[in-house]
């Protein structure tokens, strides 16, 4: 089944403790991206990647890192999480990017930083 898989679904952590949220897609998509969703603000793009070893900042990249060492994986790294990073996170992929193809979203990761 074609899908985007995120793990974990829920994560509670403390300020400053490094964490990684994994994202994997099995559709051979070139484009992958991360979003955070907060009430009243909709979805905001954190980082995106057009291809392996190519990553770029979205609208809200501060406090986050990503890597794209393989086509299928696009992990989101929080080196030193802070409470303002408490949010619902979505990973998404598409064949070529928003200009030509739809985004396929993972099920989301609800992160709480205390």
Partner 1 sequence: GQQVMQIPQYQHVQEGEDFTTYCNSSTTLSNIQWYKQRPGGHPVFLIQLVKSGEVKKQKRLTFQFGEAKKNSSLHITATQTTDVGTYFCAGPVETSYDKVIFGPGTSLSVIP
**Identity of the residue, 81 or 106, whose beta carbon is nearer to partner 1 in the bound complex:** 106
End-to-end CA, the chain: 36
Bridge-based pairing of strands 10-13 and 42-51 is: unpaired
Token reading at 3:
């899908």
**Identity of the residue, 14 or 41, whose beta carbon is nearer to partner 1 in the bound complex:** 41
Residues 44-83 that bind partner 1 (CB under 8 A): 44-45, 48, 50, 56, 58-59
Task: Name the phi and psi angles at 58, rounded to 5.
Answer: -95, -145
33 contributes a contact to partner 1 by CB under 8 A: yes
Stretch in the footprint of partner 1 (CB under 8 A) among 8-16, 21-29, 71-79, 105-113: 105-113
């Amino acid at each position: 089944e074609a899908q985007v898989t995120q793990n974990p679904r829920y994560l509670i952590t403390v300020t400053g403790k490094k964490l990684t949220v994994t994202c994997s897609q099995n559709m051979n998509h070139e484009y992958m991206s991360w979003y955070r969703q907060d009430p009243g603000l909709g979805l905001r793009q954190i980082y995106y990647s057009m291809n392996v070893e190519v990553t770029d900042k979205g609208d809200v990249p501060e406090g986050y890192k990503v890597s794209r060492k393989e086509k299928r994986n696009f992990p989101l790294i929080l080196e030193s999480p802070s409470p303002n990073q408490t949010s619902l996170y979505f990973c998404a992929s598409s064949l070529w990017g928003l200009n030509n193809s739809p985004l396929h979203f993972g099920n989301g990761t609800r992160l709480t930083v205390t």
